[in-house]
Structure 1
Amino acid sequence: MQYKNTTKSMSQIAEELGVATILEGSVRRGGNRVRITAQLIDARTDKHIWANSYDRDLDDIFAIQTDVAIKIAAALEASLTPEEKKRINEKPTDNLEAYDYYLRGNEYMARDFQSSSFTLAIQMYEQAIELDRNFANAYSRLSFAHSQMYWFYHDRTEERLRRSKKALDRALIINPDLPEVHAAFGWYYYHGYLEYENALMEFQKAIDLGLNNSLLNLGIASVYRRQGKMEEAIVYFLKAEELDPRSTDAYFNTAETYMLLRQYDEAVKHLNKAISLAPDQMFSYNIKLYLYLQKDADLKKARSVLAQATKNVISESDIFFVLMNYTINIFERNYEDALYSWSKGDEDAIDGQFNYTHHYHIKASIYGYLKNPELEKTYYDSALTVYKRMIEENPKDSRLHSSIGLVYAGLGNKEEAIRAGKKGAELLPISKEAWRGAIRVRDLAHIYAVVGEFDLALDEIELLLSVPSTLSENILRLHPKWDPLRKHPRFIALLKD
């Protein structure tokens, strides 16, 4: 609905979407009747290539959809493959109410990465399945939603993965040749178990069966990125953008990958597009702010991103908005302001796929920068208690071992700090997961710096600068956590280079 009631010309819309033709139409519903008008327009000349109207019972909606697709393909003189013809003629469900719930689920899935959105999507898919027990597409998307819940650390239980697999198994029984089923299997193997080859095999099956949408290409690109194959990942992320020019997710992921490659100008370009598509989504601003610090150590530009975000933020307690305020104040060494910034949020922790940092830990770090050892120790002790309990419950969570290592370092327990930091890196090495593995190495380097093992810290830093990661020389220059290394000859030489 991006262009509903727009004043933009067809040529402007076509340029934004990167297309030569545009399908324009309207839908009017009255009781069980629906009237649809559709026209295909050449955006360069503003001339109609094809037009038609349909006045049918609502039950014929899928037949109308099929007819429109076939007529448009003919008007464009496009030849359809047998797989494409089969997909066009397939009817996903006979129950329109079930289909409506399915579409609502898709809408929630596309909103953001928050637990609340995924939970609502799951409810919608379950409602769809309740109305049609043979709705294979709904089962596939239900599985995907469960996989997302697991991946983004909203629920890292085996039960969550079991629910994802159960939905997939049912979809496979209903329609083993449905490409969306195999696409969902790809996400399951990738998000649930980091089984990259199995994931790519299932994604390829989906392609062979005729699927070629933005989400599928995002999946392939994401797997390549976690394998450390960043250039291959870029190819598929760009394809995802091309297939869905309105996908904030596609532009955001492309930007993140360019960031890891330290191609910062390209990253900013794609982030700007993501922000233009969803100006109220704070996660894009958060990455853009950090990009300016990575690229040029430009605190002024970073502040300008925060100012832009402030104009569009819906809630000042949004975790990404809070993080932006907190981050810029830490880099500017305005520690009292950083403490205030963090207090504006509703979250108990920074809790995502890359890190788990409890608010006690955050406050301890800030009080350390403020040279207040009493409060620093008080909060580190509290954080230690929290992390110990969490590790007992989730002993394989690499994030927690890195975090407790940093707490031990802050408390001066060198041996335990190094042991925990190494454990975090061993649980998720770069060889297994290129992006998150690099975060674990960064945390280990930080631990070494805090406990006085400067050469070991610099070994890890040099490794990180040689591979795709979020670390840059400018981050090393600016961030106060690297202050213990400032006078070390290797660190000085590193920044001079």
Structure 2
Amino acid sequence: MSFFEELKRRKVFRVAATYAVVAWILMQIGEVTFPALNIPEWVMSTLVVILLAGFPIAVIFAWIFDKTPQGYIKTDISDTENIGGMNVKADNRPFFLQKRKIFLALGVLAGILIGTYGGSAITSNVDSKSIAVLPFDNYSTAPEDQYFSDGVTEMIIANLAKIKDLKVISRTSVMEYKNTTKKLKDIAKELGVAHILEGSIQRVGDNVRIVGQLINASSDGHIWAESYDGNISELFSMQNDVAIEIAEAMKSELTSDEKERINETLTESTPAYEYYLKGNMFDNAGHYKEKMLSAIQEYERSVALDSNFAEAHAKLGKMHAHLRWYGVDLSNERMLLSKKHIDKAIKLKPDNPVVRAARGVYYYHGYRDYGTAMSDFLYARDLEPSNAQFNLYVGTIYRRLGDYERARNNMEKAFELDPKSLLILQNLQGTIIFLRDYIGANVLGNKDITNQRIIYWNAMSNFYSNGKIDESLDIITNNEFVNTDEIMWGELNLSLFGKKFERGQRILGKIKSNIQSDEVNFFPKDFYLGIINDELGKKSLARENYIKTIDFLNKHLIKDPLDERAYATLGLTYARLGRKDKSLEAIEKLDELLPISKDALFGTMHAKQKGRAFAILGDIENALETIEYLSALSGGYHYGELLNDSYFDSIRDHPRFQSVLENLKPQS
């Protein structure tokens, strides 16, 4: 008899397989139940060691002994069917009739199911080295010190984000848990992390106490806890110590370079640092004129106290560039101020990721120099891959360069790091819509966070995919933001697409602002009134509206001759007046200022207006060429748009137009 046959005769394989299955089931049960019962982690480790040590013992016993009705006896070494005085017949029945084998198979199946849907339900897709830093409680006597505790929280997050081995949830997503009563396990599940850091800050005069505790989210057990007391001048070292000790407690790989960057002192001036924290508070509040100007004021105070504070100079330069990008101040003087502070920051700390990212914003928002901006953003992101803002910056630049898939990937990474960020969500959702992945966009739109822009994208995604006006209008009007201007501008455009001109007229009367102005659109109310009157047969009134629109746009272009949005609207308005020469002149200027080769996002969106102008001017060949070209690009025309847009009524039955429409129609 061969050795293999002897192993089978002594049932060694059966014992080994049974032992492995039972051990596996025990480990999976332990993984599921131990955290819920707050059983210490060492118990699980001990169980694994015992089970591993027991395996060879079980195999040895299987070789030496055999189980019989009379008990365990030493296995007969002879090749006989007589075991323990009994004749045992080999079981040659099929597998499904052998109880022991059925039990063994069921055991394997149970182990797989428990492993897949049990323990992994807690740990699947959750990085063991992931962490969310909840807003530290402010125990200071002065309520105005709230910015201080929030600022310290933000700096601890920033320090942890410098460690490549960690996944760190960004500030925006954790701030909503300030003063929350939610359980830590629920917070961790919502944010997709394995660990939570919570703590408090108390400031009395120049004395500061920081208390922190690191908690394992699944077991609710404390991994690390510490308190730090010192003078406010020691704040940097306290913040840095917190980050380093947390990294060590989470057993992360902390390189010497990362440790050096964490221990870097931003400024020797405590008041300058406090103004910097206040500036960050306004910077984080959104790109609103008042917030941006307030941030600039605080950063200016900071650099006035410490002219060598590189990060404060960098953020001051960034905010000046923001003012231009968001249309608050389009002057050259504003960009000179931006350059002054960016140059100073680069001179002080040329390799600092905050400084490099700020310079990227300068090139991005100031001059649309996307290639140069990308090199700075990539540098910053590669140094701090857990920084959601850096990932978002990289994604937005890829989108400008026309690489929408890479844009989506980087924005998804940013959203993973900052899952409560409306800014990231609306950028990601818009990008997915531009890729014509309407199902993916709708899934994102059903998240539990929303604002006017998300509602707008939800409605437009529905409209672009199926062209159903009433459905899309229901989405955009059945929400808490229905009476905000942004939603009403969206409702107006959908109404015009659906040829609901009386409804459009009513909406226009409710909108408070006199112009639809955002990153892409620049349409005064008179432009829309002209369309409505035109379509309702009130030609003379429409002409008056168009002339007022042209007068308004020309005055605006005297102040800002490089505003491509105004030329896009001017080209459409002249086309509706039948002024082909003037319309083409505006279109040529639009092409000169922002061709698709320079900006794949806005260039494509503005080029769509060219197609409309050509169509209404009766230039069928140029209209069809534009439609065919843009329909092949991400961010170009959509199925529902071409199906309904009245600009294309005159060419909708053309075979080439119908071919484009068929190609764009989403597959059911």
TM-score (norm 2): 0.69
Helix, strand or coil: the match of 1:78?
coil
Query: For residues 212 and 196 of structure 1, what CA distance do their matches in structure 2 show?
Result: 22
Please, which of 363, 388, 392 is the counterpart of residue 529 of structure 2? 363
Structure 1 residues 326-337: aligned runs within 5 Å: 326-337=492-503
Distance 1:133 1:400, change over 3 A: same
Confirm or deny that 1:461 pairs with 2:631: no
Aligned in 2, Cα 1:285/1:105: closer, same or farther, shift over 3 Å?
A: farther
Alpha-carbon displacement from aligned partner over 1:395-444 (angstroms, at most 9, x marks no partner) = 33322222111111111112221232233123211111101111221111
CA distance in 2, matches of 1:163, 1:136: 15
- Contact 1:177 1:209 (8 Å CA) reproduced: no
Q: 2:407 is matched with which residue?
A: 233
Task: Look up the match of 1:433.
Answer: 599
- Alpha-carbon contact 1:438-1:469 (below 8 Å) kept: yes
Deviation at 1:328, TM superposition (A): 3.3
Compared with structure 1, are the counterparts of its residues 307 and 404 closer, same or farther at alpha carbon in structure 2 (3 Å cutoff)?
A: closer
Gaps of 5+ in 2: 1-174, 664-668
Amino acid at match of 1:123: Q
**Distance of 2:184 and 2:260 partners within structure 1:** 31
Equivalent in the alignment of 1:344: 510
Q: 1:173: which partner in 2?
A: 347
Structural mapping, 1:192-207, within 5 Å: 192-207=366-381
Structure 1 counterpart SS, 2:512: coil
Change in 2 beyond 3 A, CA 1:97/1:319: farther
How far the C-alpha of 1:74 sits from its partner, in A, is: 0.7
**Paired amino acid for 2:395:** A
CA distances 1:62-92 after superposition (whole Å, capped 9, x unpaired): 2221111011011111121223212211222
Q: Contact 2:381/2:391 (CA < 8 Å) preserved in 1?
A: no
Corresponding residue number in structure 1 for 2:460: 290
Partners of 2:269 and 2:512 in 1: CA distance? 41
Cα distance in 2, alignment partners of residues 395 and 266 from structure 1: 39
| RMSD across aligned positions (CA) | 2.3
Unaligned runs of 5+ in 1: none
Contact 1:384 1:407 in 2 (8 A): yes
Residue 154 of structure 1 is aligned with which of 325, 328, 342?
A: 328
**Match for 2:279 among 92, 105, 109?**
105
Q: Aligned pair 1:54/2:228, yes or no?
A: yes
Aligned with 2:327: secondary structure?
coil
CA distance in 2 between partners of 1:210 and 1:289 (Å): 36
Question: Structure 1 residue 94 and structure 2 residue 268: aligned?
Answer: yes
Given that 1:149 and 1:155 are in contact with CA atoms closer than 8 Å, whether structure 2 keeps it comes out as yes
Whether the aligned pair in 1 keeps the contact of 2:481 and 2:487 (CA below 8 Å) is: no
- Judging changes above 3 Å, is the alpha-carbon distance between structure 1 residues 176 and 320 closer, same or farther for their aligned structure 2 residues? same
1:211: how far off?
Answer: 7.0
Change (3 A) 1:210 1:112: closer
Q: Write out aligned runs for 1:5-84 (5 A).
A: 5-84=179-258
CA 1:99 to 1:190, structure 2 compared with 1: closer, same or farther past 3 Å? same
Matching of residues 115-130 of structure 1 within 5 Å: 115-130=289-304
- Residue type matched to 1:424 in 2? L
Deviation per CA, 1:226-282, whole angstroms, max 9, x where unpaired? 010111112211222233333222222111111111112222333444xx34x4x32
Determine helix, strand or coil for the equivalent of 1:6: coil
In the other structure, the counterpart of 1:480 is 646
Number of residue pairs aligned between Structure 1 and Structure 2: 489
Distance 1:114 1:463, change over 3 A: farther
TM-score by length of 1: 0.91
Greater shift, 430-439 or 393-402, is seen at 393-402
Map 1:343-422 → 2, pairs under 5 A: 343-422=509-588
Structure 1, 341-350 or 423-432: larger mean CA deviation: 341-350
1:147–1:191 Cα contact (<8 Å) kept: yes
Matches within 5 A, 1:209-358: 213-273=387-447, 276-277=448-449, 279=450, 281-309=451-479, 311-312=480-481, 316=483, 318-358=484-524
In structure 1, how many angstroms separate the alpha carbons of the residues matched to 2:250 and 2:593?
A: 53
Could you tell me how far apart the structure 1 residues matched to 2:295 and 2:287 are?
11
- The structural deviation recorded for 1:300 is 4.4
Tell me: CA distance 1:293–1:211, structure 2 relative to 1, closer, same or farther (3 Å). Answer: closer
Question: Would the aligned equivalents of 2:321 and 2:362 in 1 still touch at CA under 8 Å?
Answer: yes
